[in-house]
Amino acid sequence: MTAQEVLELIQRAKDERARELDLSNKNLTEIPPEIPQLTSLQELNLNNNQISEIPEALAHPNSLQHLYLSDNQISEIPEALAQLTSLQRLYLSDNQISEIPEALAQLTSLQR
């Protein structure tokens, strides 16, 4: 999928005030900077890409309840994710993460 096609998916999700967006298996190397504009988004799937960094801007929209980032190249989790107070599920398996910020303990809605 081309970068333009990914942008079109994001724009469609924005126009439709989508609650879910699946960008898994799209060979993304970064999280699109347009994602924070999706203010109705509750579920974001970015599994199975080549993403190496989670931008602090991903802490918005804070309506996110499910965030899937497994099977990427992520090595660090920004403390800003602690602002996702509605987050119930956070999937980060199969990355290169060696440390989880203590600030994430504030996410009291997270489920096992």
pLDDT in the model for residue 34: 95
Cα-based torsion angle of the residue sequence 10, 96, 70, 105 in order, rounded to the nearest 10 degrees = -90
**Mean per-residue pLDDT over the chain, rounded:** 95
Task: Decide if 42 contacts 62 (C-beta within 8 A).
Answer: no
Residue 21: beta bridge partners?
44
pLDDT one-digit tens code per residue, 18-29: 999 999 999 999
Question: Residue 55 domain-assigned?
Answer: yes
User: Which residue is listed with tokens 């801007």?
Assistant: 57
For residue 42, the enclosing domain spans 3-106
Across residues 30-46, what is the average pLDDT? 96
Single-letter residue type at 3:
A
Question: Residue 111 domain-assigned?
Answer: no
Distance, CA of 37 to CA of 13 (rounded, Å): 10
Residue 76 has pLDDT above 80, yes or no: yes
pLDDT in the model for residue 61: 67
CATH number of the domain that residue 83 is part of: 3.80.10.10
* pTM for this model (two decimals): 0.94
In total, how many domains does the chain have?
Answer: 1
Question: Residue 16 domain-assigned?
Answer: yes
pLDDT band, residue 92 (cuts 50/70/90): very high
What is the C-alpha end-to-end distance of the chain, expressed in Å? 33
Torsional sign, CA 18, 43, 6, 38: positive
Lowest mean pLDDT among 38-47, 53-62, 68-77: 53-62
Question: Residue 35 domain-assigned?
Answer: yes
Question: Residue 74 domain-assigned?
Answer: yes
Chain centroid to Cα 102, Å, comes to 19
pLDDT in the model for residue 60: 81
